Chains A and B, each alone.
Chain A
Amino acid sequence: MIQQVIFAIAVVGALGFAFNKYAKILRNIRLGGEYSTDGGDFERMKNVALIAFGQKKMFKRMVPAVMHLFIYAAFMITQIELLEIFIDGFLGTHRFFWDSLGWFYTFTISFIEILSVLAFIATVVFLARRNALKLPRFHMDEMTGWPKWDGNIILVLEFMLIIFIFHMNGADEVLYNIGKAHAEGMEYGEVGSYGFAISRFAGPLMFGWLADYGDFGVWILNLLERFGWWGHILTVLCFLMYLPFSKHLHIMLAFPNTYFAPLNSRGEMENMPDVMNEVKMMMGLTEMSADAPTEDELPEFGAKDVFGLSWKNILDAYTCTECGRCSSVCPANMTGKKLSPRKIMMDIRDRADEVGRNLDSGDYNRNNYDDGKSLFDYISREEIHACTTCNACVEACPVMISPMEPILKLRRYEILTESAGPGDWVPMFTSIENGGSPWQVTDARDKWATDALDENQ
């Protein structure tokens, strides 16, 4: 009974805490502006199926893809066991489904165990890749301090989850072997084996010797089983509460992010109807309307803060798990420029978090937000100027994030609102505007043709 009460308190407390945090993240995402998600339902579902569930884009790099698949599959399938843990926790039962599901129970738990072993291997490999192998993408400038910790903490938590599962099943197996187990529908004193694929061997191997110690051994085995059970569920709850502070949110957000990913051509930069209409009026293509807005303040174009981005850009930022595939293929980054597409996404998330915290403090409100800071306090001009818009980062992202789009929105702010930007671009703009070509030229545009005709008489 006492266990049930503690369990209920832990679950309700953790869910309450987590709900509050997730609600804030949702609020932060909605700080962003409009983003059209019209149409293409089928295509969107297809993307979710192939790219989020199917991890299609991960498989561009085989080793991490397979390792990641192990952890992903183990995580997904463990949810079934988690369901039983919740039922057992609330009802005070033990292995609620054991009797009723029969062979299918053994099969399911065996499946979970095999995947857990694979996930264990993957976790070791990932820890090694991060810390021992020194893969360049895990050691860029933005991966120091908290992001480095974060990556390792997640892996250690995964490690613990797996260890606890085998503690639980292993100790329980030994108890069953000596007739001291008590699953639902099992007669106490029944001697047998759960027959789970791994723990039927690993259990006796790890804890079998305790059976020689009589009641004390049984007491220890029960303690180990409970330790595993509680350890597992408490780690799950910690995980849930930790996620909103972590890069690891991708386990949830990868799905909506893939669903909402743009369906239009990558090559199309979002049109700016306000600018288009103004230029149309200027060119006399549309009638000057009498009720044209006469604002005192100049309108703000592009983005200088999270408010100027779309909510999808911010969702992108919270979805990013800092894998760094984008930065490892970025031509600017690989030639030593300051730009790192991953850092852009991390900066947007950190800024959204900061704005969110300030809103929570009650000193600021959403509609008139000004804390004297902006995204430009996180992202330098040098970074946004280095982008070649080559789309390699967009192509590389396994969860359909576009680091390029916010870069271009920041450029728009810089050029259109601040009239700033690289000095070299000024003559280019002037030449285009006045001569219809980015180079200042005096020749006629078809001189190449007339020359060629002369030569080929």
Chain B
Amino acid sequence: MSNKLQIPVMSELAAQGVEPEVLYWVGCAGSFDARAQKVAVAFAKIMNEAEISFAILGQEENCTGDPARRAGNEFVFQMMALQNIETLNMYKVKKIVTACPHCFNTLKNEYPALGGNYDVIHHTQFINDLIKEGKLVMKGGSAFAGKRITYHDSCYLGRVNGVYEAPREILQQLDNHLVELKRSKTNGLCCGAGGSQMFKEDEPGEKRINEARVEEALETGAEIIVANCPFCITMMTDGVKAKDKQDHVMVVDISEMIVSNKRL
């Protein structure tokens, strides 16, 4: 990378009187999960490359409250949400981009009822727009070029919010062979993490959901499973390991494919 990476923090920009165009909502996974941190960096690099004026909230960001709300704990959800809305409104945030479909859904669909109204977009939509606007031009060939890939729709980006095409449009720009899963788009199968399952043991059953989903992904013969959600990445990676395929199959976020393509 020629230029120095920049990840501005909102409070520092505010002190300088600068209002960035877009707030990058990192989310808890992007902030703390070792695997998702890589995605967070990848997306930051993409925004640097496209010269986007952005900032993160840094220490002032909290969990959106999604896992608490879906577990049934409305109190904890409200505490997080109201606090976040206070912060976002204080900085007069208008546009938010996030690499987590759960954060995306909660910020977009649930914060308005609590007084937080923002233009919220998922990083796959954001990247797709950058490509369409010519701000991000794909190069030929990369570590992923020519590979057989498959794309896993996350529930909260796909079925819940109806975003199916933006991620696929990006994948078309990359030099891959996309094989659709037998269950995809509206019929996509959950990775097993949603509804706060991520934070508890599975209920008794015959199989883990992530393993069932990975089996479907392996049927496509893909070497790369592309995801758009940090929790899906964790679940799918675990599933690939459970099937002892970690040496043959990678699980990556779309942003990481861009970074590879652009050698960022």
Give me the interface of A with B, judged by CB distance under 8 Å: 60, 264-269, 271-272, 275-276, 278-280, 282-283, 285, 301-302, 329, 331-332, 334-339, 382, 385-392, 395, 408, 411-416, 421-422, 424-425, 428-429, 432-433, 436-439, 441, 443-449, 452-453, 456-457
Contacts and interface: CB of A to CB of B under 8 A. Distances in A.
A415 B160 contact: no
Given A425-B196, A428-B199, A449-B44, A267 B105 contact: yes
Contact of A428 (B5, B67, B161): B67
A287 to B, nearest CB: 15
Contacts of B106: 267
A242 to B, nearest CB: 34
Contacts of B105: 267
A283 B79 contact: yes
B148 to A, nearest CB: 25
B218 interface: no
Contacts of A266: 159-161
B69 interface: yes
B220 interface: no
B41 A448 contact: yes
Contact of A329 (B74, B187, B206): B187
Nearest to A457: B4
A437 B230 CA distance: 14
A329 B159 CA distance: 13
A412 B212 contact: no
A264 B82 CA distance: 21
Interface in B3-20: 4-7, 9
A416 B73 contact: yes
A438 B67 contact: yes
Nearest to A440: B32
A337 to B, nearest CB: 4
A331 B204 contact: no
Interface string B127-162: 000000000000000000000000000011001110
Interface string B38-60: 00110010000000000010110
B203 A331 contact: no
Given A265-B161, A331-B189, A436-B63, A389 B70 contact: yes
B59 A445 contact: yes
B28 A386 contact: no
Contact of B71 (A60, A279, A392, A428): A428
Interface string B183-197: 000111110111111
A436 B61 contact: yes
B190 A445 contact: no
A278 B96 CA distance: 28
Contact of B200 (A60, A280, A385, A444): A385
B181 to A, nearest CB: 14
Contact of B159 (A282, A335, A385, A391): A391
B30 interface: yes
B114 interface: yes
B197 A388 contact: yes
A404 B162 CA distance: 18
Contacts of B5: 452-453, 456
Interface in B87-124: 105-106, 108-110, 113-114
A280 B75 CA distance: 10
A388 B209 contact: yes
A439 B71 contact: no
Given A267-B160, A390-B195, A438-B67, A416 B75 contact: yes
A410 to B, nearest CB: 8
A279 B190 CA distance: 32
A446 B114 contact: no
Nearest to B84: A436
A446 B1 contact: no
A445 B61 contact: yes
Contacts of A332: 203, 205, 209
B187 A449 contact: no
B68 interface: yes
A402 to B, nearest CB: 12
B58 A445 contact: yes
B258 to A, nearest CB: 16
B110 A268 contact: yes
A415 B76 CA distance: 11
Given A429-B68, A448-B30, A336 B207 contact: yes
Contact of B204 (A279, A280, A337, A392): A337
Contacts of B73: 415-416, 425, 429
Contact of B109 (A265, A276, A278): A265
B176 interface: no
A86 B169 CA distance: 59
B28 A439 contact: yes
A268 B197 CA distance: 18
